[in-house]
Structure 1
Amino acid sequence: MAEIIFRSRMDAKRFYDHLLEGSGYNPKNQDILLLEDRHIVRILESKVGIEEVKEAFYQFIVKIKRDDWFRAILQEQYYFEDLEEQQHILEIIYSVLEGQRQDLAVLIKGNGDIPDIREAVEEIFQGEVSFSFDSFLKFRLRPYLKMLESYVEISIDEYKMEQEYQMFIQTLRDFLASRDSRMDTLYLLFDEEITFFDEKFNEIKRGELVRMIDRKLLFNHPVYVDSASIAPLLSIAPKSIFLYTKNSEEPLVRTIKNIFEERVTIKSYKGLRQAKEWIHQENNANENGA
């Protein structure tokens, strides 16, 4: 027989439901009991295998309770009360846990090594089992709970940076909306540096780009606005931008796309020569026709 004592009635009920769902047993068989008045889940070994119980307990910790602990850390330590904000931060946390954000994973204290929860579960389920869930957390899972705090900490920092970035993007969109276009079409080549081309695919030299920059833009946003790319683009405010790049996920490419939205068309770097030849042919044809 195994008996797990919970301090919280809700935790007892959730583990009971989770165990029933995972084992597929009918609660009327009385193999798994919920003693609600004492917050105890009791499992009889006649039909329910101890391995099933251990696996259900492990999954209860890493799937159900982990989310509770993340939310508790957010609310109690960092005072994030808003559920929508909590959800945004949780999405960042789980992207790190699932290996999608290696840039953040390297910032986790202790390199993000996850304590061996299965080993702790194996140890607690030895012989006649009767234990307190909260004592198990306190004495066996303390390193795990500390690790969760590290995930929350770096995810909050990332969330704040994302919020600042979105505010920055919106500010520049507002600036763009207030400007008249100085050029219908602009071509950008992303290589080791950014090269600007006008509508006839003539290169716009650096000095000319500098002269085009609206000084109010640099004065109002000196930290965020790149004078080599974003500032001239916003100052010219072209109706269409054709951007040739080898990597469409490059941060600056994504920033330009986010600011100019439907005005931007991303093109393959390999298509640059063909586009240049076509435009030069069109220009020659127009000049000859004139």
Structure 2
Amino acid sequence: MAEIIFHSKQDANKFYHHLRECLKYDPDYENILLFEDRHIVKVLNGSVSEEFFQQFKGAFYDFITVIKREDWFREILMNQFYFEDFEEQQQILEILYSIMDGQREDLSHFLKDSVEEPNVKEAIEHVLQENVSFSFDSFVKFRLRSYLELLESYVEISIDEYKMEQEYQMFVQMLRDFLANREPKMEKLHLLFDDEITFYNEELQEIKRGELTKMIDRRLLVNHPVYVDSASIAPLLSLAPTAIFLYVKDEDAPLVRTIKNIFEERVIVRAYHGLRELKNREGGGTSAKNHG
């Protein structure tokens, strides 16, 4: 028999219902009982098959690495980093899970040394012997210390990313506010994204870098020198065109995304070779460079 003692009634209930849901046990195993006054879950009374015992260990592992992991993430956020707002916690956890799921390749390498699975399974194997009684909280404190430290490192990475995203959103909104007060200096502007960005006017003629520099509103560089890229964002904000055509190879490139976020419905994204085809069709841009 395994007898697991919980200090928290809530944890005991979570574990009990988790077992009922995952094990799908036969009536012979309905003796999984919860003694609420002592928060004890008794499991595996009498003789059980090896298959059932392995299923139980799997359920215990899932309880730790799925159900309790979520609780621990929130505790770390609250107690160590003072994020008490539930919605803010949720945003950080969404970032965290996206990193763990490999959706953010630029950050996933920070987790490549993760050894959570073997460490937790080894701890379970060690403690979960037949006819054993143990405290879940002591098990966590002494056997899962390295696992909890690992979770803390995950949270730290996610908080850093969350703060960067918050700063980015503030940056985008600041530039939208600047743009809202600008009169358009031209109707259409074409940008070709290659090794560098090349600007073309409405007649599809290249705007030289020196010309662009003269067009920049100096207030942008004085008031926001850290945030504004003088080669792309500053000219765009200064000219404030009604329509911006982007000719790109990768629509998800960071600068492309930023321009789309700032200028929103003004942006039209087209294929990289679209500008060359447009110039050929209209017969314009004789002074422009031959890109593509």
Which residue of the partner structure matches residue 22 of structure 2?
Answer: 22
C-alpha offsets along residues 105-136 of structure 1, whole Å, 9 cap, x if unaligned?
3335x833435212221222223221111111
Mapped partners of 2:285, 2:98: distance in 1: 48
Assess if the C-alpha contact under 8 Å between 1:4 and 1:40 holds in 2.
Answer: yes
TM value normalised by structure 2? 0.91
Which residue of the partner structure matches residue 41 of structure 1?
Answer: 41
Assess if the C-alpha contact under 8 Å between 2:2 and 2:132 holds in 1.
Answer: yes
Which residue of the partner structure matches residue 9 of structure 1?
Answer: 9
Partner-residue secondary structure (3-state), 2:277? helix
Q: How many residues align?
A: 282
Aligned partner of 1:94 among 89, 92, 97: 97
Mapped partners of 1:161, 1:264: distance in 2: 24
Aligned partner of 1:243 among 243, 246, 259: 246
Q: How does 1:56-205 map to 2 (within 5 A)?
A: 56-108=59-111, 111-114=113-116, 116=118, 117-205=120-208
Deviation at 1:45, TM superposition (A): 4.4
Deviates more, 1:113-122 or 1:51-60: 113-122
Unaligned runs of 5+ residues in structure 2 are 287-292
Mapped partners of 1:102, 1:45: distance in 2: 49
Partner-residue secondary structure (3-state), 2:269? strand
Which residue type is aligned with residue 222 of structure 1?
A: P
Assess if the C-alpha contact under 8 Å between 1:31 and 1:46 holds in 2.
Answer: no
Mapped partners of 2:266, 2:165: distance in 1: 23
Which residue type is aligned with residue 105 of structure 1?
A: S
Partner-residue secondary structure (3-state), 1:38? coil
Q: 1:94 to 1:77 in 2, by over 3 A?
A: same
Assess if the C-alpha contact under 8 Å between 1:200 and 1:280 holds in 2.
Answer: no
Which residue type is aligned with residue 85 of structure 1?
A: E
Q: How does 1:231-270 map to 2 (within 5 A)?
A: 231-270=234-273
Assess if the C-alpha contact under 8 Å between 2:2 and 2:129 holds in 1.
Answer: no
C-alpha offsets along residues 227-260 of structure 1, whole Å, 9 cap, x if unaligned?
0000000000011111011111111111001000
Deviation at 1:276, TM superposition (A): 1.6
Mapped partners of 2:271, 2:249: distance in 1: 6
Q: Are 2:212 and 1:209 equivalent residues in the alignment?
A: yes
Deviates more, 1:27-36 or 1:70-79: 27-36
Assess if the C-alpha contact under 8 Å between 2:76 and 2:155 holds in 1.
Answer: yes
C-alpha offsets along residues 30-89 of structure 1, whole Å, 9 cap, x if unaligned?
321111111010012456721121111000001100000000000000100111100000
Percent of aligned pairs with the same residue? 62
CA RMSD of aligned residues (A): 2.0
